[in-house]
Each structure stands twice: as structure tokens, then as C-alpha cells.
Amino acid sequence: MIPNTNDGSSRPPRLRIDINGSNVFGLPPYSSAPKGDARMVLEAVKAAGFEGVQTGSKAAVCRELGLRVTHSGRVNTPEEADLRAAEAVELGADCYTVHVGWGIEDDAEVDRLIDAVLRASEKHRIPIYLETHRATITQDMWRTIRLVERFPEIRFNGDFSHYYTGQEMIYGDLTAKLDFLAPIFERVRFIHGRIGNSCCMQVDIGDGTGGKQRPFVDHFKEMWTRSFVGFLKSAKPGDYICFTPELLGPDINYARAFRNAKGELTEESDRWQQAILYGQLARECWAEADRITRGR
């Protein structure tokens, strides 16, 4: 079984707000993101209230500054699972989020991959969370639920934009689909914070208000809240769930870019400011999940 994340303390289960390194480094010069060398940037990340960073290259600096580290990568073959887990441990990561396979494997191949990931997690004593991600074995909601039935011990990194946009969740009965996803929500222990609409994986969320103008914001908050409820129902003292904004750049076709009055391509939002806002939204969802769990 993949171990749950535990900080070794006896404090109540909690929400931890981290940030992905790609949401901090390499942002355009007009962003309000902290600037300077890695240490200066990460000091500002810590001052902004983030507890950790999902990174490989900046892990050593993070540890020096008292920031926690998580890591991410890809497992394409069963043999790679042990190697990637060992690398994450060597890096000092609290956990490892992973893209597994390419989504074209048959069930026997999928099962071999999952078995290898589970064994690597146990061997190296590091939580490994499967990302709900396009071009992986979890790209399809129906197939992922079947996977949970065969391997109920797996845990997820909920990167829900890949379902919301990739499977156009609002096309049909959204509530029925959210209910269908309950076994996944119950097993989420890490969230990549990104909000998309029905056709774009990552969009500007303005001030974070949903409603008629941005109903997708409310839909993602619902998925995050359900995930937090799922965590709280089984969490033990010292357990925590990571919420990590991962707002990526236009170079890989995530952040949308538009021409300004000068004809220059600029991103539609400031990803640093949006990440801070995402943390606020996550805390609101956590408070709601706590209320639901306590039956208040």
C-alpha cells in the first residue's frame, strides 16, 4: 500500500499549500513573481506563505531555506518505477507524483505498471501519487475507476483539468459525473491546482469568483472540496494533503497568450498572483470540507 503522507507530528490532519517550480521560475518579466537568483526567489515564495515547492533542480536550496520538497516524473515501464522512487528519495522529496504509461496499454500492462509503482513505494517508503492526466493510464474516468476496483490502495494527485477539459465534463450531467468519481476523490492526497473551462486546460480566473461569468471556478472548487472530504474521512493525526498550484507557461500550450496594443504576445494573467489566489480558494474549500466532515 502506498503510505499516506505524515509529518510525524500528532497535530490534526491539515492542508498544506505548496507551489510548483514551473509556477515560479521562468515567468515573463512583466509578471509580479519574485525575481533574482534561486535563493532570492525561494525566500519570497516562503514569505508568501507556501510551505513547499515541487521541484528537482531547486531541491537543495529549498531544504536550506526550510521549504519542503515534492517531486514529479514519469514511469513508462515497470522497471522505471523503482528508479524514479529512488531518485525522489535521494532528492529528499516528501512524495512523488507520477504520470504512468501512455494510455494505450491493455489492462494486463496497466496492472504490471501499477504493481511496480506500489512495490517501489513500499520499498523506498515514499508516497507515490498517480496523476489524473492526459496521455497516461488514468486519462479516462471510467478506466480509472476500474483501476481503483483492482487496486484500492492506490492514491492520486488530482489534476482535474485533464478530466474537466479533456473529457468535457459539463457536456451532460456534471453532478452524476462528480458522484461517479467518488472513489477517486476519496483517494486524492495531492492536488495540482489548475482551473480550465470546457475547451481550455488553463484559463484566467479573475478574482476567483465563480457564478455565471466563470462557472468552471465553482466546479473545480467542488472537486477540491470533495477531495478534501475524502482525505479527512480517513486521515490520522499528522496526515496532510498537498495543494500545489501548477499554472504552466505558453511554451507548452497551457497559459493562453494574446497580443496587446503593441502587438506583443502576453499571457492573459499573472500566474504568480493567480497561484496566491488559488491558495485562498483551496483554504475556502478546506473549511467547507471540514464543516461537512464534522456535520456542522
pLDDT of residue 1: 65
Give me 227's grid cell. 477531495
pLDDT of residue 276: 98
Q: Over 90: is that where the pLDDT of 296 sits?
A: no
293 alpha carbon, distance to own chain's centre: 22
Place of cell 512523488: 96
**Nearest 10 degrees: CA dihedral of 175, 179, 181, 184?**
130
pLDDT of residue 7: 87
Q: Over 70: is that where the pLDDT of 188 sits?
A: yes
From CA 293, how far away is CA 287, in angstroms rounded? 10
Q: Over 80: is that where the pLDDT of 3 sits?
A: no
pLDDT in tens, 35-70: 999 999 999 999 999 999 999 999 999 999 999 999
Other C-beta atoms lying within 10 Å of the C-beta of residue 181: 22
User: What percent of the chain clears pLDDT 90, i.e. is strictly above it?
Assistant: 94
Q: Over 80: is that where the pLDDT of 217 sits?
A: yes
pLDDT of residue 2: 78
Per DSSP, 243 falls in state E
At residue 97, the 3 state secondary structure works out as strand
pLDDT in tens, 224-250: 999 999 999 999 999 999 999 999 999
**Nearest 10 degrees: CA dihedral of 227, 98, 120, 86?**
-120
pLDDT in tens, 114-146: 999 999 999 999 999 999 999 999 999 999 999
Place of cell 529512488: 86
Q: Over 70: is that where the pLDDT of 106 sits?
A: yes
Rounded average pLDDT over 4-28: 94
From CA 208, how far away is CA 112, in angstroms rounded? 41
Q: For the domain 14-294, what is the CATH superfamily, name and number? A: Divalent-metal-dependent TIM barrel enzymes (3.20.20.150)
pLDDT of residue 5: 87
What is the domain partition of the chain in residue ranges? 14-294
Give me 228's grid cell. 478534501
From CA 107, how far away is CA 93, in angstroms rounded? 30
